[in-house]
Structure 1
Amino acid sequence: MKKAHKIRVGISIGDLNGIGSEVILKTFEDPRMLDFCTPVVFANNKLLSFYKKHYKMNVNFQGVENAEKIIDGKFNVVNVWKDHLKINFGEEDKFLGGFTLQSLEAATQALKEEHIDVLVTAPINKNVIQSDKFNFPGHTDYLAKHLGGGESLMFMISENLKVGLLTDHVPVKEVAKVITPALIEKKIKIISSSLEADFRVRKPKIAVLGINPHSGDNGVIGKEDEEVLKPTLKRLRDRGNLVYGPYAADSFFGTKNYQNFDAVVAAYHDQGLIPFKTLSFGNGVNFTAGLEKIRTSPDHGTAYEIAGKGEADPTSFKEAVFAAIEIFRNREEYKELTKNPLKKQSKKL
């Protein structure tokens, strides 16, 4: 497919009873957003009209039959279904969860077929979307299966902080069992490659947090840091990787040590996401690193407690759109430079 002049940003609608529709419409209510991209929401024209009327927003969009008929420079809505749906903001609804999945499936297929360039996913309710077609703990695992690139990684990014996870949606009692030398090397390789290709970091410097409190205190509080993490990090350093740690997680962020690194690797979900969201909430973005295609999302959930009230802050969703655009451009430039080493050398001079 011939690339559009403006990057085509595909958007899955997320949970229909959550705040996804609100933050999407608020983001593109500003007509200047069309200077940066061509947005494409996968849902239904009548549904978006309902949301527009409910929130009293002045935003124009163009309904199209399928992704092949996207109109560049317009706010597009691909009509994935024709059903009339009843929206009850703030309620879990498994029936509506099926339409959330239809939106995600259509957007993912359009990304694979290059009708869109990047994908931004609005928040889902992981409970109501579960089905025979979606038996995953979240977007990351679903997209890892359906998009090329092999292993993926949840990479939380903001302007001043980037946090990757060795394990994401894994029960705490299973974390130590799951973390192996092979997993550590694989995840750090994904982060390092992403920093180079997606964020223009030439020689990434990465910090790794300990698995246990105080990184195990030399084996007094668990053996995993001494027997698994430290030897693996040493092997990576011996190969020339700038990977340091393990650092005690309880003091690492409070002392602002994270500012000395290009990225931080946390052992498990809350160890990384609690400090990230404390420091970056509202401006952070969830990026799925390691895939051949680009997917981002805001750093918040469905927020049922405020859904339908017009109170949702679109900042994180807008940041997710901008991040997807920037990563796409960086990755295209990186591909060009790696194809042409002489061009790369001239940029250094």
Structure 2
Amino acid sequence: MKKEEKIRVGISIGDLNGIGSEVVLKTFEDSRMLDFCTPVIFASVKILSFLKKHYKIKSNLHGIDKTSQILDGKINVLNVWKEPVDINFGKEDSKIGGYAIKSLKAATQALKNDEINILITAPINKRSIQSDEFAFPGHTDYLDQELEGNSLMFMITDNLKVGLLTDHVAVKDIANTITPELIEEKVNTIYNSLKQDFGVSKPKIAVLGINPHSGDNGVIGKEDEEILKPTIKKINESGKLVYGPYAADSFFGSNTYKAFDAIVASYHDQGLIPFKTLSFGKGVNYTAGLAKVRTSPDHGTAFEIAGKNQADSSSFKEAVFSALKIFKNRNQYAEITKNPLKKQPRKPQKK
């Protein structure tokens, strides 16, 4: 990408019966956003024009049928479909879920083709997206298949970053899912992400225990003693600053988290409950470990307020800014890590 070109932000529209389209349109209603990037929404200009009127948003949409028609300074809407769509705000609908997946697949393909630079995904409903053609729990698992790398759910703000060893795994299966190999893979992904995506030269990482009180020396489960502790020790021996396991119940309330660049939670709610409590509305869900940059807001479809013009676009806007910053950091890191010292031909010595 040339320096003078604006970063192209691809946006999958998510569940049209939820608040996704509302927060997307509200984000780019502020024309100053177009100074930072060029948005490309993968949906239908007809349906977004209808929604724009519904939410009394005045910004203009630029409908296109192929990426070669993208214009800087415009809110581009690439028509993934053109037929009418029946929207019923707040309702779970497999047909609407199908349109969410059409949008996601088209945006992902454009990302793979370098027609867009980064991807922001609006919220989906995990039940309505299920079909014979799409059998993934959510965005992350699909993108892990489509893009190079090993995905990791990384919840981020400027001051707090929480990664997960396991994400959408039933509580009864967590202990059996966590292995030394998984811990090393996820910690290394977070370590590398902190360096290349966030500019942290020597990351310091905390790992939370699997069991209450990190197992109390094996009294409350043996996983912390037998799996976490020896694996953390092994990672430390490789030169990485990784500490733990820490008892999760007091880790955030005592402000211990502030001493670390990132925290690794053993399972979904152990990490996301404190993260959302501390940063709800400002947090961003970042998929670390992939060859491309993808973020999303830290909330779901919010069916209960869908269509009521009550949704707050703050988290979606943060998702855009975070993706832009990560994209730029990655490019800078790639430049820095290139070997600039090419062998030069020796000059003849003077006699």
Bin for the TM-score computed over the shorter chain: over 0.9
Residue matched to 2:209: 210
Distance change >3 Å, CA 303–CA 28, structure 1 → 2: same
Counterpart code for 2:313: P
Deviation, 1:72, is 1.9
- 1:9 and 1:37 in contact (8 A); partners too: yes
The amino acid that maps onto 1:331 is R
1:183, CA displacement in angstroms?
0.3
2:348 maps to none
**Separation in structure 2 between the aligned mates of residue 325 and residue 156 of structure 1, nearest angstrom:** 16
Matches within 5 A, 1:97-246: 97-149=97-149, 151-246=150-245
CA distance, structure 2, for counterparts of residue 152 and residue 101 of structure 1? 19
Aligned to 2:36: 36
- Residue 51 of structure 2 is aligned to residue 51 of structure 1: yes
Are residues 201 and 341 of structure 1, via their aligned partners in 2, closer, same or farther at CA, if it must alter by over 3 Å?
Answer: farther
Q: CA deviation at 1:228?
A: 0.3
Runs of 4+ in 1 over 4 A off after TM superposition: 1-4
TM-score by length of 2: 0.96
State the partner residue of 2:253.
254
Matching residue of 1:71: 71
Structure 1 position 133, deviation (Å) = 2.2
Residues 6, 73 of structure 1: 8 Å contact kept: no
Q: Distance in 2 between matches of 1:275 and 1:67?
A: 40
In structure 2, how many angstroms separate the alpha carbons of the residues matched to 1:67 and 1:177?
45
> Structure 1 residue 2: deviation in Å?
6.1
Check whether the contact 1:156–1:276 (CA below 8 A) recurs between aligned residues.
yes
TM-score of the superposed pair, with normalisation by structure 1: 0.96
Match of 1:90 in 2: 90
Provide the rounded CA distance (Å) in 2 between the counterparts of 1:148 and 1:178: 23
Distance in 1 between residues matched to 2:124 and 2:257, nearest whole Å:
30
Structure 2 unaligned residues grouped into runs of 5+: 342-351
- Kindly provide the amino acid, as one letter, of the partner of residue 35 in structure 2: D
CA contact (8 A) 1:4 1:72 kept: no
Look up the SS of the partner of 1:40 in the other structure: strand
How far has the Cα of 1:137 moved from its partner? 1.0
Query: Tell me, what secondary structure is at the counterpart of 1:296?
Result: strand
Task: Name 2:345's counterpart in structure 1.
Answer: none
Shift of 1:66: 1.5
Structure 1 unaligned runs (5+)? 343-349
1:273 CA displacement: 0.2
Query: What is the CA-CA distance between 1:322 and the residue it aligns to?
Result: 0.3
Higher alpha-carbon Rg: 2
Q: CA-to-partner distance for each residue in 1:271-298, whole Å, 9 max, x for gaps?
A: 0000000001000000000000000000
Secondary structure class of the residue paired with 2:99: helix
Q: CA RMSD in A?
A: 1.2
The CA deviation at 1:341 is 5.5
Residue 334 of structure 1 is matched in structure 2 by 333
CA distance, structure 2, for counterparts of residue 305 and residue 332 of structure 1: 40
Q: Which whole-Å CA distance do the structure 1 matches of 2:340 and 2:305 have between them? A: 52
CA distance in 1, matches of 2:209, 2:148: 31
Mean CA deviation greater in 259-268 or 94-103: 94-103
Partner deviation per Cα, 1:127-174 (whole Å, 9 max, x = no partner)? 00111221111110000001112x110000001100000000000000
Contact kept? 1:66, 1:80, Cα under 8 Å: no
SS in 2 for 1:183: helix
* Higher mean C-alpha displacement, 155-164 vs 67-76: 67-76
TM-superposed CA distance for 1:181, in Å, is 0.3
Q: Secondary structure at the match of 1:31?
A: coil
After the TM superposition, which of the residue ranges 295-304 and 88-97 deviates more from structure 2?
88-97
Structure-2 change in CA distance of 1:216 and 1:341 (3 Å): farther
